[in-house]
Amino acid sequence: MKNQHWSEINEATSVAGIKFLFFVYRTLGRAVFNVFLFPVIVYYFVFQPRARRASRDYLARVQRAGGIPPTASLRLYNIRHFFSFGSGQLDKLAAWSGGVRSEQVQYDRYLEFLNTVRSGQGVLLIASHLGNLDISRMMADTHNRVTRNILVHTKHAESFNRILREVDEASCLNLIQVTEVTPATAVMLNEKVQAGEVVVIAGDRTPIGGNGRHAAVNFLGDTAMLPQGPYILASILRCPVYLIFCLRKDDHFRVTIEPFADEIRLSRRNRDGEAQLWAQRFADRLTDFALREPLQWFNFYDFWWRPEGTAGATDQSEGASLVDQSTNQEKQ
């Protein structure tokens, strides 16, 4: 069976279904919500074989790496993985509608980041699809000087963003919907960083189309392709870079914002090689957090897929556009 790039996989989320489950949660509570969630998750588990296989593949790698007991049943973890995803979708809606209390959110290594932003210095945050980044929106509410500009892909964000706007329009952050980061987009983001704002970009999904610049890294014991885009963008913005993870633990959430680099500069001679080293550093941190809470990994596609003929990069899409912009800045 031919592997697909993540952006080619149709979204299985039903807008009406999510709104109904959220209504159940708001009126009857989380326990009753879980009762309604059960048949929904079973349905997707049965009728989404590609996602089911991707989950099993990921969980097997986690088990080999020691994140799951060697005697544990992967079939049981497989279904638990789907239920964890469903619960995470509720957490997203709850975060945007005030359903998560501030005392439920704890922060690790947060003070340095906050002091940097309060000083007027913009930063680049590299996120992932591990855990629930939406919980960290409370950071923006509690400290109103933290303005975040989140790069999202329209194809996968449009339906859910519409629900979020209906739930609480005032809570919308600055979501920048892009399929690729062009030089014009990079200039706009640079203006935001110069204004002391935060730019957020995912470090674990390659550009839409699958033909941008990739970095081959070791992730959970095998080669995975991660985007070079975050590190090329960082070399353009020339600002501090942080990583952000948010994991649920019982009824609490722990947000970790840790320094990644004071500044990233990629040389013209060895841009791909240096970007690969940064991508590997990100993959190493992603591995550490994934092994802590493996069921909170929400990439339900073949993550270890290498595009046919990929030898490191092409001259198309996000990566090439950013390289052109970075090269122009070096000449100035």
DSSP letters spanning 66-90: TSS-TTS-HHHHHHHHHHHHHHHHH
- What per-residue string of b and e applies to 306-330 under the rule 16 or more CB within 10 Å gives b? ebeebeebbeebbbbbbbebbeeee
Rg (Cα) of the chain, in Å, rounded?
Answer: 20
CB under 8 Å to 34, separation ≥6 — which residues? 87
User: Cα-flanking dihedrals φ and ψ of residue 259, to 5°?
Assistant: -65, 135
- pLDDT value of position 319: 42
User: What span, in angstroms and rounded, lies between the C-alpha atoms of 139 and 247?
Assistant: 15
Q: Count, in order, helices (H) and strands (E) of the chain.
A: 11, 9
Q: Mapping DSSP to helix (H, G, I), strand (E, B) and coil, where does residue 227 land?
A: strand
User: What span, in angstroms and rounded, lies between the C-alpha atoms of 215 and 218?
Assistant: 10
User: What span, in angstroms and rounded, lies between the C-alpha atoms of 265 and 280?
Assistant: 16
Tokens 């030089």 identify what position? 183
- pLDDT value of position 36: 80
- pLDDT value of position 23: 79
Query: Residue 215 has which token pair?
Result: 């970095």
- pLDDT value of position 100: 82
Residue 65 is classified by DSSP as T
CA angle at 78 for the pair 75 and 79, rounded to the nearest 5°: 100
- pLDDT value of position 262: 95
User: What span, in angstroms and rounded, lies between the C-alpha atoms of 257 and 137?
Assistant: 13
Model confidence pTM above 0.85:
no
- pLDDT value of position 1: 47
Number of residues that this document lists for the chain:
332
- The residues pairing with 131 across neighbouring beta strands, listed in sequence order, are 246
Q: Extract the residue ranges of the chain whose pLDDT is less than 70.
A: 1-19, 97, 137-145, 153-173, 179-181, 207-212, 305-332
The residue type of 241 is V
- pLDDT value of position 190: 93
- pLDDT value of position 314: 34
Nearest in space to 240 (alpha carbons), one of 122, 128, 147, 127: 122
User: What span, in angstroms and rounded, lies between the C-alpha atoms of 66 and 293?
Assistant: 12
Tokens 């001259």 identify what position? 315
